[in-house]
Amino acid sequence: MSSIKIINEKCTGCGLCLGVCPPGAITLADRKAVIDLDKCTLCGVCIGSCKFNAIKILRQAIIKEDLSGYKGVWVFAEQRQGVIAGVVFELLTKAKQLADSLGTYVGAVLLGSKIEDKADQLIHRGADKVFVVDCAVLENYIAENYTLAIVGLVNKYKPQIILAGATTTGRSLVSRIAVNLYTGLTADCTGLDIDKDRKILVQTRPAFGGNIMAQIISPNFRPQMATVRHKVMPEAEEDLSRSGEIIKELFDENKQDKRLKFLDFVKEAISTVNLAEADIIVSGGRGLQAAENFKLVEDLAQVLGAAVGSSRACVDSGWIPYSHQVGQTGRTVCPKVYIACGISGQIQHLVGMQSSKVIIAINKDPDAPIFRIANYGIVGDVFKVLPLLTKKLKEALRSRNTANV
């Protein structure tokens, strides 16, 4: 581990380093500089200020492993009760592109109980190899057991890259895997590419509240790992003519983490369709003013057969569960139609919905940022616009149904 030290024989206690230390980690004691290692960030500014060369940073040497033996782009095939998550098929699209750039194969890792028959779905969507660990212990997701299984696979087969969905499961799992493998991990990526010269993964994600897009690399360790948001990439097309290799591996039940026991999975009751899969989303923001006013959004969503979304402000206020949150710290969505009701359009929210095909904004402030990206805008009071819009849509649907009869 890197560290910093004061060479007491050279330090004169002049105090020049105190004024330049950004975190204020340096003090004087007995006419000698003293560094608080809990505050020090090893920025090195103090070294440049010292005229007596009395400060030294001890950098940990990076031991470079031979990375030539790592091959393959893997996707964690998240599933629940035998149903593979939609984000997996999106990741297979990107995995295929990355693998082609590297001249390697696409792998999928499928864990669970009695799920071997699902391997063909992954092959038909682009996987060349499917690593199946079918075991009763893995029937229900427990992060520690899944980590043990995947770390074992990685140590045996040495993939170059591992991708997972930025879901609740994916986020909790891959962070544990990265720590166990002593490798890097970039969370919530919106873009992935290969540096053609260095043949390494370039991971792009929003940073500083979405104001910049950061590009992150992990050149010295393998595998390179990333979680990717749902709906930022197209799903891989199903090709029933594709063939691939199914590799069965065992999980040593004696190694399972016995501190944990699965009791039950309680699924949240959602009155409307799934947010991530919805073609139409109606979202409410701070402009609704109170939890009970979300009924205006829900009524419109019900007429349209839409999902109900929310800005972070509403979730933080306890008006609606987190599962409905759209934005940088919530869901990334890409519906055909996104209706923003009383949402000002802060960058954190726009990051999660700006790729929607058609954006309709309703806000009483004509200068609200949401109007800058909206295809259609209604400047008006949501408490007047939403009931009227819902009423007109109901009448239109009723008239159409009557005509069809």
Domain coordinates in residue numbering, the chain: 3-58, 73-255, 280-404
Please check whether the domain covering 3-58 is classified as CATH 3.30.70.20. Answer: yes
**Phi/psi zone of residue 40: left (φ > 0), alpha (ψ -120 to 50 degrees), beta?**
beta
Nearest residue to 308 via CA among 296, 316, 317, 318? 296
Q: What is the pLDDT of residue 164?
A: 94
Angle, to 10 degrees, between the axis of helix 168-181 and the axis of helix 143-157? 50
User: Which residues lie closer than 8 Å to 210 by C-beta, 6 or more apart?
Assistant: 328, 347, 348, 350, 351
The first and second tokens of residue 40, run together, are 């020090």
Question: Same CATH fold, 280-404 and 73-255?
Answer: yes
The CATH architecture one would assign to domain 73-255 is: 3-Layer(aba) Sandwich (3.40)
Q: Quote the DSSP letter at residue 286.
A: G
* 143 burial type by CB count under 10 A (0-12 exposed, 13-18 middle, 19+ buried): middle
Summary count for the chain: helices (H), strands (E) = 11, 21
Residue 212 CA to residue 192 CA, distance in Å, equals 16
User: Phi first, then psi: what are they for 58, rounded to 5°?
Assistant: -100, 105
Look at residue 67 in the predicted model and tell me its pLDDT.
82
Task: List residues bridging with 206 in a β-sheet.
Answer: 213
> Is CATH 3.40.50.1220 what the domain over 280-404 is classified as, yes or no?
yes
Other Cβ atoms within 10 Å of 48 Cβ, number: 11
Per-residue pLDDT 10s for the chain (405 aa) are 678 889 999 999 898 898 888 888 899 998 899 999 888 888 888 988 899 999 988 876 655 677 888 999 999 999 988 889 888 999 999 999 999 999 999 999 999 999 988 999 999 999 999 999 998 888 888 889 999 999 999 999 999 999 999 888 888 899 999 999 989 899 988 889 999 889 999 998 877 655 677 889 988 889 999 999 877 788 888 889 999 999 999 888 777 777 777 777 766 554 445 777 788 999 999 999 999 999 999 999 989 989 999 999 998 888 988 889 998 778 888 889 999 999 999 888 988 888 888 999 999 999 999 999 999 999 999 999 999 999 999 888 877 766 554
Could you give the C-alpha distances from 11 to 19, 47, 53, 58, 314, in angstroms and in order? 16, 12, 8, 17, 55
Q: Nearest 5 degrees, angle CA 307-CA 312-CA 313?
A: 115
Closest CA to 290 of 217, 202, 383: 383
Please list, in sequence order, all residues whose beta carbon lies within 8 angstroms of the beta carbon of residue 376, skipping any fewer than 6 positions away: 358, 359, 360, 361
Report pLDDT digits (tens) over 346-365. Answer: 888 988 888 888 999 999 99
- Secondary structure letter of residue 254 according to DSSP: G
pLDDT, averaged across the chain: 87
Report yes or no: 68 and 154 within 8 Å, Cβ to Cβ. no
Q: Give the C-alpha separation, 102 to 96, whole Å.
A: 10
Instruction: Give residue 328's pLDDT.
Output: 78
Cα separation, 47 vs 69, in Å, equals: 40
Encode burial over 70-101: b for 16+ CB neighbours within 10 A, e otherwise: bbbbbbbbbbeeeebbbbbbbbbbbbbbbbee
What's the pTM value of the predicted model, to 2 decimals?
Answer: 0.67
Long-range contacts of 389-392 (CB under 8 A, 24+ apart): 389/300, 390/296, 390/299, 390/300, 390/303
CB 223 within 8 A of CB 178: no
